[in-house]
Amino acid sequence: MALASSTYDGSSGMPTHVAIIMDGNGRWAKARGLPRIEGHRKGVEAVRTATKTCMDLGVEYLTIYAFSAENWKRPLREVDDLMGLLRLYIRRELNELRRNGVQLRFIGDRSRLSNDIMKLLQEAETETAVNRRLIFTVAVNYGGRQEILEAVQGIARDAKDGALEPSDITEAVFERYLQSVDVPDPDLLIRTSGEQRLSNFLLWQSAYTELAFTSTLWPDFTRQCLEDAISDYQKRERRYGGTG
Ligand code: FPP
């Protein structure tokens, strides 16, 4: 169902940026006696639904956690399957995403990805760079601590070269060294499957993000689930440390 939900208030307070930790693919598959890859495959369908829903609702930025810097610890077969799905997703969806005005971006350390995937990510970014309807960021081999460390290294290099004084390093300057440069902090971060942690996702950026945890497994996360999470977000008061 689209915007007709009884709880959904599409008129005000739409989050500008929604971030999602897509969790529970493995459990979804296990509950059906299927291999884990089937859960991830169904998870890709839920990604499609989420991007469409964001476009329809007017959410301007969507960021999803597709592969964490720690996911290399999974069995090689599953890592290969996940990389294969990413490759397939970009190859199959790129044209439609481009036509629909979606700008694709990728954050994370690309150096460990295979050459063909690195090239695909670059192509997808270049081909969609002018789009503005939805800025869709996919985190691949991403870690929040790693991102912060890289920013610190960049700042230290510039300070060493004399381009920066320690007193110049404000929050705004620091953010220019993050990979999420030009993307506003997430207003709403959703994690599916009942786990209640950030797992190294957008650590700097989520300082004042509203968190939403749902027991729904990612492959079951429908348009209605996203609308409900947004509706709940719209009832919250954001105080940013003030008194409201
Ligand atoms: C968490 O479920 C999910 C992931 C680690 C990967 C998410 C990836 C996809 C949805 C597919 C690839 C994405 C794109 C954009 C092509 P889990 O495996 O940890 O589930 P579990 O906790 O139930 O085992």
Degrees, nearest 5: CA angle 244-225-14: 40
pLDDT score at 5: 43
Q: What is the pLDDT along the chain (244 residues), one digit of tens a residue?
A: 334 444 454 446 999 999 999 999 999 999 999 999 999 999 999 999 999 999 999 999 999 999 999 999 999 999 999 999 999 999 999 999 999 999 999 999 999 999 999 999 999 999 999 999 999 999 999 999 999 999 999 999 999 999 999 999 999 999 999 998 899 999 999 999 999 999 999 999 999 999 999 999 999 999 999 999 999 999 998 888 888 7
Classified as helix, coil or strand, 60 is coil
- Output the six-digit token pair for 130: 């002018």
Residue 161 is a catalytic residue: no
Atom of ligand 1 nearest to the CA of 46: 10
Cα separation, 65 vs 35, in Å, equals 21
Alpha carbon of 240 to ligand 1 centroid (Å): 31
- Nearest-CA residue for ligand 1 atom 3 is 23
Domains of the chain in sequence order: 17-233 (3.40.1180.10)
Return the bridge partners of 61, or none: 17, 135
